[in-house]
């Protein structure tokens, strides 16, 4: 027992002796254990539908040789070398290039450089890139030429000849005042889906402006575009007038054209300017018997008055309201409000001359499009702002024809005791015509400021 205590005491003394130091003692060597390498990832470049180039730079091996290096990628963040989607680009430190292959088009990938040594695998910073759309997966669409151009509307469209990899979900045209319009442009139509032909109506255009237009088609892979066309809207040939208010309080807008101020809608009053009632004919028998002023709706249907106004016989134009006024012109009423008159042949002739002649003037006067006019509504641009609509006519026997196809307006001029002058437009020409017509016929009326 005494021997064991002596050994313990000896060990303690030896320990204290070894721990004593002096200023002349040698320094103790510190050994740092090896670690994984240090590296950065290069951004992806030269990205195609199925490949991209990247790489990395290994700045330190961590005290253990780099035995494998490359890049690894996936559609999910933080890819690792447990994936098959990786490259093996040699060994050692320094920079290296890598090519990622077998990628999918139109897909976002996450990529990291890696470096492996005895102690594990280190990764560089993560970069992302997106492969472009495969053109073969996109629809094929052809743009139609732009037609029926007016001051603020036009007609185009296209045809989807191939839907691509998936069904076409939307199609139409896009336009802008700058080249290469896209679906993010202000001007766009939506004209159905799938393949085939479609028609696009452009609206809210600015007069006398050049536009660029393309057809488009979209599927799950993206949007493709057809050929680009340019077109210029027609210039305005008018300025806005002050308008005119009739005896019944109804107001008619007006336009100023070559020093003439015209109303922009057909007359729709039931009284003369002094408030005297103009009789309404509600059947063919009544209409056919009239030799004084009267009016009717087309087909005797009130609903037709909304867009086309009323049809008047010429006796209403002349203010012939009773038997006495047939022979005594001093007793006749005035249909137009004070300061205005029913358009005359001279008014229509001056308008036609200003618009380049009667053979083309009708196109500038007619309302554009086919909301009221029948197809083809040839040459209609409404550049005058007169918005002439095809109200048709009521014959002397009380039958109706021409709504949608023709618009006819009485002139204040008498041709002879049976007929008076009128001016007319039709849907399939640009002509502005004039002819003498039986006074008992029902036609539309436009006003001109004195």
Taking only Cα atoms into account, the Rg of the chain, rounded to an integer number of angstroms, comes to 44
- E strands along 226-379, which residues? 229-232, 239-240, 244-245, 251-252, 254-257, 260-263, 295-296, 311-312, 340-342
d(CA 339, CA 347): 15
> Mind listing the pLDDT tens digit of every residue in the chain (450 residues)?
333 334 333 343 333 344 444 444 455 454 557 799 999 999 999 999 999 999 999 999 999 999 999 999 999 999 999 999 999 999 999 999 999 999 999 999 999 999 999 999 999 999 999 999 999 999 999 999 999 888 888 999 999 999 999 999 999 999 999 999 999 998 999 999 999 999 999 989 999 999 999 999 999 999 999 999 999 998 889 999 999 999 999 999 999 999 999 999 999 999 999 999 999 999 999 999 999 999 999 999 999 999 999 999 999 999 999 999 999 999 999 999 999 999 999 999 999 999 999 999 999 999 998 999 999 999 999 999 999 999 999 999 999 999 999 999 999 999 999 999 999 999 999 999 999 999 999 999 999 999
CA distances to 203, 376, 387, 414, 442 from 369, rounded to whole Å, are 10, 9, 11, 33, 25
b/e burial code for range 294-306 (CB count within 10 A of at least 16 → b): bbbbbebeeebbe
Give the distance between the most distant pair of CA atoms in the chain.
164
- Cα end-to-end span (Å), the chain: 144
The DSSP-derived string for 176-187 is ESSSS--TTSSE
* pTM of full prediction above 0.85: no
């Amino acid at each position: 027992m005494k021997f064991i205590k002596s050994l313990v005491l000896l060990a303690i003394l030896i320990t204290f002796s070894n721990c004593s130091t002096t200023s002349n003692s040698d320094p103790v060597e510190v050994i740092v254990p090896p670690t994984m390498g240090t590296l950065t990832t290069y951004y992806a470049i030269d990205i195609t539908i199925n490949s991209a180039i990247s790489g990395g730079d290994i700045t330190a091996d961590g005290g253990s040789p780099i035995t494998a290096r490359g890049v690894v990628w996936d559609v999910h963040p933080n890819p690792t070398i447990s994936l098959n989607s990786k490259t093996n680009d040699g060994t050692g430190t320094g920079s290296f290039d890598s090519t990622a292959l077998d990628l999918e088009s139109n897909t976002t990938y996450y990529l990291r450089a890696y470096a492996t040594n005895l102690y594990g695998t280190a990764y560089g910073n993560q970069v992302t890139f997106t492969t472009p759309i495969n053109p073969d997966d996109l629809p094929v669409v052809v743009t139609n030429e732009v037609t029926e151009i007016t001051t603020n509307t036009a007609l185009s469209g296209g045809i989807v000849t191939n839907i691509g990899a998936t069904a076409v979900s939307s199609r139409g045209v896009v336009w802008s005042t700058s080249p290469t319009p896209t679906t993010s442009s202000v001007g766009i139509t939506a004209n159905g889906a799938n393949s085939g032909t479609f028609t696009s109506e452009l609206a809210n255009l600015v007069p006398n402006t050049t536009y660029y237009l393309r057809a488009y088609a979209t599927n799950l892979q993206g949007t493709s575009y057809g050929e680009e066309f340019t077109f210029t809207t027609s210039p305005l040939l008018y300025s806005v007038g002050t308008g005119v208010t009739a005896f019944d309080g109804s107001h008619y807008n007006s336009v100023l054209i070559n020093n003439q101020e015209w109303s922009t809608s057909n007359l729709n009053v039931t009284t003369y300017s002094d408030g005297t009632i103009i009789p309404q004919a509600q059947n063919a028998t009544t209409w056919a018997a009239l030799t004084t002023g009267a009016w009717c709706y087309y087909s005797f249907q009130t609903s037709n008055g909304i867009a086309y106004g009323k049809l008047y016989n010429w006796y209403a134009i002349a203010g012939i309201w009773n038997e006495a006024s047939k022979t005594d012109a001093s007793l006749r009423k005035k249909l137009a409000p004070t300061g205005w008159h029913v358009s005359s042949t001279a008014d229509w002739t001056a308008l036609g001359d200003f618009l380049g002649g009667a053979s083309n003037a009708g196109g500038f006067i007619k309302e554009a499009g086919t909301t009221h006019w029948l197809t083809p509504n040839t040459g209609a641009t409404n550049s005058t702002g007169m918005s002439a609509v095809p109200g048709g006519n009521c014959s002397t026997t009380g039958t109706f024809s021409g709504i949608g196809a023709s618009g006819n307006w009485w002139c204040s001029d008498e041709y002879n005791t049976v007929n008076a002058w009128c001016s007319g437009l039709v849907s399939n020409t640009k002509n502005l015509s004039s002819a003498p017509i039986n006074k008992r016929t029902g036609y539309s009326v436009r006003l001109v400021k004195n």
